[in-house]
A and B are shown apart, each in its own frame.
Chain A
């Protein structure tokens, strides 16, 4: 087991050397004001049977969970995903995907009270295939997941060895994390769990980290600050490092590395909303203050575009034919530039209950104001969406949880040189694979209290009793249609009685005699 704890302080955060104490057996931090990343790497053979079964059938498994609370993604942890749980899975053999993964997913997502998720027995049922343009070929899954309670509980019950309070504490700590990553690939044969906390708890971080009990284990500690590097795509970090139980004192350090995820120097934000009434055709608005639209500090030869990446549950969908249009009038009226990639469930008619896939992902390039000066006024891009029919409910409504999309600049250079290693690199985010490797991303900050929009979807109102019983709809329809049918038959029989089935020009002959 390897553990890496990194505290990253903002430039304005206070620090005095007494806050960190290193002894031969432990390291303690007191009232530390910093963001924190805690990363634990576990070898495959240290994992429980069920989990190992899943991983052994995977060539890659990457979970990305982000909180619904907004948080500040500071360098070098600048990348973002939409709130909820994202799973990127590549089976070892294409035809032999893991059923256990579905079981695991149910354990982690299922017990939630208002869990709306697409279940599966085999991943390919509910997982979607990536867009053909992606560099990563993994199957993709997403679900609304406000907390990682069940994940933490799973780790405590199955991964932690009995009596290990430290493991339990660490799993518990995930509950307050802003994002959680779990990574496995068949090359390293190790599982990495990382939590990220953008802000310290009340009173700062207080932690006592003991040296590992086994010699095979290692705990690295870092207290760092980050600033822009000399090159635009670089980040420079400096501070103190130590290996707990090995180093006698904290070692000062300074290093820089290239990073595909860069912070925007000037604060830039966006908000997402749906204009009421949303009806069955809600329109998503992404509003960006004019001041947030400045081109990022990328090299001048880089091509930059403002993008948004939507992660839509199956309850809501875009019309690909409407959105991939090149009609400038449509695009201008929505401030969109182009639909660059799309994957997943795009059926235009199916109600939600016949849809197996969890939903769809959309990479859209947004238009930016034509004039160079970006005024103070807001810039709004709109994306027309549509709701699926959902099953009946007692209230006549059901909720569709739509996570806020992420909004970012992507700047691509022609530079073919291979980027050096980045100790804080983050890939397999779903959207990053849709760009060339020479792309640098600059995230805009979502500004809201909660990064999920709850849409009221009108459905058939159905109660156990009274007028809105299912039975009354059945009987009412049946009765009215039967009456209508009998009425027309009655009219026809009267015609047949009076004039038979022949033509009326044979008056005086046959059945018609009866009338005369």
Chain B
């Protein structure tokens, strides 16, 4: 396939796609009352305007992000005559789109250098899943900040695989500050980074020496750097914006009261509970399956076999078992798919892969149909419609998660191993 044999071509095409969408978006915004730009981007840019005027970004309702984001987007608040203001307004979107490209470049680097993929094979997966994926390009050019998370997660992976524990720790701290969920990667990276991978010696076999053996220099550096960057960032933000920073960036997620329908299997239950109609409060235990899988079981059993597959499985489990789930969450695991798919049984057994894809899409479609009935037709489709659709979609995701776990269990992530296996084929 000649389509993927040139890296510049793949990246130029990805850039062109985003540029075209940026220009198109600007045109649609200027000519139609129906805007291309995402509502969230209006929140970001409003917050950036507050910041530019020396105010708090939390003066904008529903700004639930780190002030870093508003600071980064300050150029969008620069006023000017028309062509100039259109350009400054698009600054953030361009930044998010650039993050997409950078994330894609990092994935290609990792695949070719650490997984010994030939360039063409690496490009094929990265282009189809990420760089040329119209959904990814659409989300970032409409102004959703998920692209930034993509680049942070791939950078974290890059720093880890190139054995830079301090850098990896700093990136992790930043990523968690940005959007809590990446803390899950900390656990698997920590477990993965054992003495063998660290290259440190292994003295004795007593309990104490085992404990000491666990404390590899890399693990210590990684944790310390992560804590330092996370605490430092939060301290700076807290000193700057006080309680409203804590409330909107972190506490909001613990105390949120908006249970508008979403893909989560807990959606109907939470509506019932919040409205005071539940007898037993199962939802209070919702964190147990999520945390047990994501923080304990998945890293412990899989991380040393395949770090990337573990991270994918963690993200997948986190999103599937979460109390809230919207379509932007799907982007969180999309960025990790190029590492998993090449060796996945979903590709090795095309029937299984196609079947899984069809089930997933069908689950989405069923839910969206019910959601449309509610949102636009005003039908009370909470039960049974959305309730069953949510549980069905959850079941499909759990089944796919099972496949990922199984594949992860059979994976041998060591680069030497990979090369040998690949040569043998």
Instruction: List chain A positions with a Cβ less than 8 A from chain B.
Output: 276-281, 320-321, 327, 329-330, 332-334, 346-351, 353-354, 389, 391-392, 395-397, 456-462, 467-468, 470-471, 473-474, 476-478, 480-482, 484-485, 487-489, 491-492, 494-496, 498-499, 501-505
Flag if A470 contacts B279 (CB, 8 Å): yes
Flag if A397 contacts B405 (CB, 8 Å): no
Cβ contacts under 8 Å, A470 to chain B: 272, 277-279
**9 A-B pairs closest in CB distance:** A495-B409, A396-B380, A349-B258, A333-B33, A484-B398, A458-B380, A485-B289, A504-B412, A503-B304
Q: A473-B272, A480-B395, A481-B321 are in contact. Are A351 and B405 (CB under 8 A)?
A: no
Cβ contacts under 8 Å, A503 to chain B: 196, 304-305, 412-414
Cβ contacts under 8 Å, A395 to chain B: 380
Q: Which of B76-84, B220-228, B261-269 contacts A (4 or more CB under 8 A)?
A: B261-269
> What are 5 A-B contacts with C-beta separation under 8 Å?
A329-B32, A392-B275, A484-B265, A488-B402, A495-B305
Given contacts A279-B374, A459-B382, 7 further A-B contacts (CB under 8 A): A280-B378, A470-B272, A480-B265, A481-B394, A503-B413, A503-B414, A504-B413
Flag if A353 contacts B289 (CB, 8 Å): no
Flag if A460 contacts B278 (CB, 8 Å): no
Flag if B272 contacts A351 (CB, 8 Å): no
Cβ contacts under 8 Å, B212 to chain A: none
Cβ contacts under 8 Å, A329 to chain B: 30-33
- From the candidates B46, B297, B320, name the one contacting A489 in the complex (CB within 8 A): B297
- From the candidates A279, A321, A346, name the one contacting B376 in the complex (CB within 8 A): A279
Classify the interface of chain A: helix, strand, loop or mixed: helix
Complex CA–CA separation, A392 to B270 (angstroms): 12
Q: A501-B304, A503-B413 are in contact. Are A458 and B275 (CB under 8 A)?
A: no
**Binary per-residue interface labels of chain B (391-408) against chain A in the complex, 1 for a CB within 8 Å, 0 otherwise:** 100110011011001101
Cβ contacts under 8 Å, B300 to chain A: 501
- From the candidates A279, A353, A491, A505, name the one contacting B375 in the complex (CB within 8 A): A279
B349 within 8 A of partner (CB): no
Cβ contacts under 8 Å, B276 to chain A: 353, 391
- From the candidates B62, B274, B382, name the one contacting A351 in the complex (CB within 8 A): B274
- From the candidates B272, B378, B381, B416, name the one contacting A462 in the complex (CB within 8 A): B272
Task: Return the chain B residue nearest A355 by Cβ.
Answer: B257
How many whole Å from A507's CB to the nearest CB in chain B?
8
Flag if A350 contacts B269 (CB, 8 Å): no
User: Which residue among B376, B384, B409, B416 has the maximum number of chain A CB atoms within 10 Å of its CB?
Assistant: B409
Instruction: List chain B positions with a Cβ less than 8 A from chain A.
Output: 30-33, 42-43, 46, 61-62, 196, 257-260, 265-266, 268-269, 271-272, 274-280, 282, 286, 289, 292-293, 297-298, 300-302, 304-305, 317, 320-321, 374-384, 387, 391, 394-395, 398-399, 401-402, 405-406, 408-414, 416-417
- From the candidates B33, B61, B258, B382, name the one contacting A461 in the complex (CB within 8 A): B382
Task: Return the chain B residue nearest A352 by Cβ.
Answer: B275
Flag if B279 contacts A321 (CB, 8 Å): no
Q: A471-B279, A477-B282 are in contact. Are A349 and B265 (CB under 8 A)?
A: no
Flag if B394 contacts A484 (CB, 8 Å): yes
Complex CA–CA separation, A501 to B305 (angstroms): 8
Q: A349-B258, A354-B257, A391-B275 are in contact. Are A488 and B317 (CB under 8 A)?
A: yes
Flag if B383 contacts A480 (CB, 8 Å): no
User: Which residue among B305, B376, B411 has the maximum number of chain A CB atoms within 10 Å of its CB?
Assistant: B305
Flag if B258 contacts A351 (CB, 8 Å): yes
Flag if B293 contacts A485 (CB, 8 Å): yes
Task: Return the chain B residue nearest A460 by Cβ.
Answer: B382
Flag if B391 contacts A480 (CB, 8 Å): yes
Flag if A277 contacts B377 (CB, 8 Å): yes
Cβ contacts under 8 Å, B305 to chain A: 495, 499, 502-504
How many whole Å from B124's CB to the nearest CB in chain A?
25
Complex CA–CA separation, A329 to B32 (angstroms): 6
How many whole Å from A251's CB to the nearest CB in chain B?
60
Complex CA–CA separation, A227 to B376 (angstroms): 49
Complex CA–CA separation, A473 to B273 (angstroms): 10
Flag if A459 contacts B402 (CB, 8 Å): no
Cβ contacts under 8 Å, A276 to chain B: 378
Complex CA–CA separation, A93 to B395 (angstroms): 59
Task: Return the chain A residue nearest B60 by Cβ.
Answer: A321
Q: A347-B61, A396-B380, A477-B265 are in contact. Are A484 and B409 (CB under 8 A)?
A: no
Complex CA–CA separation, A488 to B409 (angstroms): 12
Flag if A353 contacts B376 (CB, 8 Å): no
User: Which residue among A347, A353, A467, A484 has the maximum number of chain B CB atoms within 10 Å of its CB?
Assistant: A484
How many whole Å from A2's CB to the nearest CB in chain B?
49
Complex CA–CA separation, A498 to B416 (angstroms): 22
Flag if B377 contacts A495 (CB, 8 Å): no
Flag if B398 contacts A488 (CB, 8 Å): yes
User: Which residue among A467, A468, A478, A491 has the maximum number of chain B CB atoms within 10 Å of its CB?
Assistant: A491
Flag if B260 contacts A349 (CB, 8 Å): yes
- From the candidates B33, B399, B401, B406, name the one contacting A330 in the complex (CB within 8 A): B33
Flag if B381 contacts A458 (CB, 8 Å): yes
Task: Return the chain A residue nearest B273 by Cβ.
Answer: A474
- From the candidates A350, A487, A501, name the one contacting B257 in the complex (CB within 8 A): A350
Cβ contacts under 8 Å, A482 to chain B: 289
Complex CA–CA separation, A480 to B399 (angstroms): 12
- From the candidates A277, A468, A492, A504, name the one contacting B298 in the complex (CB within 8 A): A492
Complex CA–CA separation, A509 to B62 (angstroms): 54
Flag if B384 contacts A467 (CB, 8 Å): yes
Complex CA–CA separation, A66 to B43 (angstroms): 39
How many whole Å from A457's CB to the nearest CB in chain B?
8
User: Which residue among A332, A333, A499 has the maximum number of chain B CB atoms within 10 Å of its CB?
Assistant: A499
Q: A349-B260, A353-B274, A477-B269 are in contact. Are A498 and B282 (CB under 8 A)?
A: no
How many whole Å from A19's CB to the nearest CB in chain B?
53
Complex CA–CA separation, A389 to B374 (angstroms): 12
Flag if A473 contacts B387 (CB, 8 Å): yes
Flag if B271 contacts A389 (CB, 8 Å): yes
Complex CA–CA separation, A274 to B378 (angstroms): 13
Complex CA–CA separation, A330 to B35 (angstroms): 9
Flag if B278 contacts A474 (CB, 8 Å): yes
